[in-house]
Amino acid sequence: DVQMTQSPSSLSASIGDRVTITCRASQSFGASLNWYQQKPGKAPQLLIFGASRLQSGVPSRFSGSGSGTDFALTISSLQPEDSAIYYCQQSDNTPWTFGQGTKVEIK
Amino acid sequence: QVQLVQSGAEVKKPGASVKVSCKASGYTFTDYFLHWVRQAPGQGLEWMGRINPTYGNADYAQKFQGWVTMTRDASLSTANQELTGLESDDTVVYFCARERTLVAATTSRYFDLWGRGTLVTVSS
């Protein structure tokens, strides 16, 4: 199975800060790397698919980058509503696997 | 409205079985694979498997083979997941999610639509 490792596990940042979450895969694959945001008691919501493609309706402050084994999610200017847990996911190999999650808190 | 509506919360005793359903609406059910993802309280997301709504064949993550069965009723636009031999640590939320595929220079697969989740509590 492809192991996905996110870092950091949690972070605290101020409104307006630039925030970057990284995701490293245990083996290289194509562009099937996705990012989801999950708020308490809710289902995850797709932010980024194909490593860098912004899902329709998602604010442009979210962006994704990377290829091979190293990927990143960047929030260019953190907003209060961005407080959530963020997960990366690879869908290139079965079983599809998720990172352990990164909790983003607002200072 | 495009949505996945899941069945309500369940409380089961250890050793029991449970069936969770996921009804699709607002799109053609057979056009997209449906997946199941589980999440224990306070924990991360875990992929369980997926079903092809057209033919009803399913793929499972190895750890769920033998005690999870995914089925579908295309006439009802509904996917089902039956879990057997529940244990206390099986108290989790089960999500269904729709797979989309983008074919470009590379192929991307992702979940663009999720159900709200079904909590299954296992307690004696």
Q: A22: closest CA among A83, A64, A60?
A: A64
User: Mean pLDDT for each consecutive 10-residue tract of chain B (124 residues)?
Assistant: 98 95 98 97 96 97 95 98 88 96 87 98 91
Q: Which of A31, A91, A100 lies nearest to residue B44, judging by beta carbons?
A: A100
Q: With beta carbons less than 8 A apart as the criterion, state whether B111 and B40 touch.
A: no
Q: Tell whether B59 is within 8 A of chain A (Cβ).
A: yes
Residue B37: phi, psi to the nearest 5? -130, 140
Residue B76: phi, psi to the nearest 5? -105, 0
What is the predicted pLDDT for the residue at A54? 97
Q: A76: closest CA among A16, A18, A20?
A: A18
What is the predicted pLDDT for the residue at A64? 97
Q: How many angstroms separate the CA atoms of A87 and A43, rounded?
A: 12
Q: Which of A49, A97, A100 lies nearest to residue B110, judging by beta carbons?
A: A49
Beta bridge partners of B23: B5, B78
Q: How far apart are the two ends of chain B, measured CA to CA in Å?
A: 39
Per cent of chain A over pLDDT 70 is 100
Q: A98 vs B44: CB contact, 8 Å cut-off?
A: yes
**Distance of residue B59 Cα from the nearest chain A Cα, in angstroms:** 9
Q: What is the residue type of B106?
A: T
Q: How many angstroms separate the CA atoms of A64 and A90, rounded?
A: 13
Q: Which regions of chain A are under pLDDT 70?
A: none
Write out chain A residues lying below 8 Å of B106, CB-based. 30-32, 50
**Distance of residue B123 Cα from the nearest chain A Cα, in angstroms:** 21
Contacts of A56 (CB under 8 A, 6+ apart): none
**Residue of A91, A93, A97, A98 for testing the chain B interface, max B β-carbons within 10 Å:** A91
